[in-house]
Amino acid sequence: MNATVADFIIGNVWSLPISSDVANDIQAIPISDSTAFCLTLGDSNEGSFSQFVMEFYKDCPPCVWADFLWHKGCASHFFVFAWLGIMGGLKTADMILKRNVLVASICYLCHSKNESIPHLFFE
């Protein structure tokens, strides 16, 4: 079925082609007029998920580092890993020690310095 919600509204009344408990629940939802609070997608009568996302985040300040990390075709787990590294969320030894969990602080790769994000990625 390729239909929109508007296809099931005639006037201000639900017009559902089925009769069931779900249909009864839907018909119990009042159809409000334009004076009530309603989620809209700008001036468009058409809606898409990307329009919703743009409308939802329109008042948020731009994220200056997102383009540095996010690339089309890049697997999302790479983005999440890089984001965790920038935000200090990777479970490196220094971060675990800050949470009062006793672990060896020495780097398992070089065995010469303490494990931290700057050491693992930039030293």
CB of 112 to Zn ion, least distance (A): 6
CB atoms within 10 A of CB 115: 20
Under rule CB under 5 A, residue 54 binds Zn ion: no
Q: Which of 87, 94, 53 is nearest to 69 (CA)?
A: 87
Scanning 5-13, 49-57, 80-88, 101-109 for contacts with Zn ion by CB under 5 A, the matching segment is 101-109
**Residue 35 near residue 27, CB atoms below 8 Å:** no
Alpha helices by DSSP H, listed for 28-75, are 49-56, 66-69
Amino acid at 68: F
* Cα–Cα distance measured from residue 61 to residue 100, given in angstroms and rounded to the nearest whole number: 35
CB of 37 to Zn ion, least distance (A): 56
Among 52, 110, 114, 118, binds Zn ion (CB under 5 A): 110
Closest to Zn ion by CB, 25 vs 123, is: 123
Among 109, 114, 118, 121, binds Zn ion (CB under 5 A): 109
Closest to Zn ion by CB, 54 vs 109, is: 109
| Interface contacts to Zn ion, rule CB under 5 A | 107, 109-110
